[in-house]
Amino acid sequence: MRIHSTLIALAGLGVAASAQAEGPDFEKEIWPFVKNSCVKCHQPEHKDERGRTRRPKGDLVVTNKEALMKGGEDGEVIVAGKPEDSPFLQMALLPLDHDDHMPPEGKADQWTDEQKKLMEAWIKAGADFGAWERDPEVDVQGE
């Protein structure tokens, strides 16, 4: 009986340890703050409430996995395993008053230090989206 419960406890630890090695969970831990800070300017081309066409800034769409991994007008923005080569993180790490800082000063919520660390850990662990493909709430084309 005693041995049995020890084995169960160890199995539990194993699961926790491997989840850690895989990095943060995209849908639960990363997407909410990306959605909050970046979607406003980086969603698919659509018409706003006044009928004006809004194009994604820098040609970068972040509302689905395929577009996010494709990148923007300057190419890839996330390089799996290489946070230092990933503009998606690096531009958020620039000083707030730098022209290329994301999100632009005063235009959306800045990522907290904790969120920057989560993004770094997620890219480093391989930029794994899990089952997440897109957010249907904001990944909308057209009107």
Nearest to 88 by CA among 42, 135, 44, 45: 42
Nearest position to ligand HEC, beta carbon: 72
Pair of tokens at residue 67: 């577009």
Determine if 116 is a binding residue for ligand HEC (CB under 6 A): no
Question: Tokens at residue 22, please?
Answer: 């895989």
Alpha-carbon distance 15 to 104, whole Å? 39
Should residue 40 be labelled a site residue for ligand HEC when binding is judged by CB under 6 A? yes
Residue choice 26, 88, 122, 129 for contact with ligand HEC (CB under 6 A): 88
Q: What residues between 56 and 75 interact with ligand HEC by CB under 6 A?
A: 57-58, 60, 71-74
Dihedral (CA of 12, 17, 20, 22) sign:
negative
Contact residues: ligand HEC, CB under 6 A: 37-38, 40-42, 57-58, 60, 71-74, 77, 87-88, 91-92, 102-104, 107-108, 111
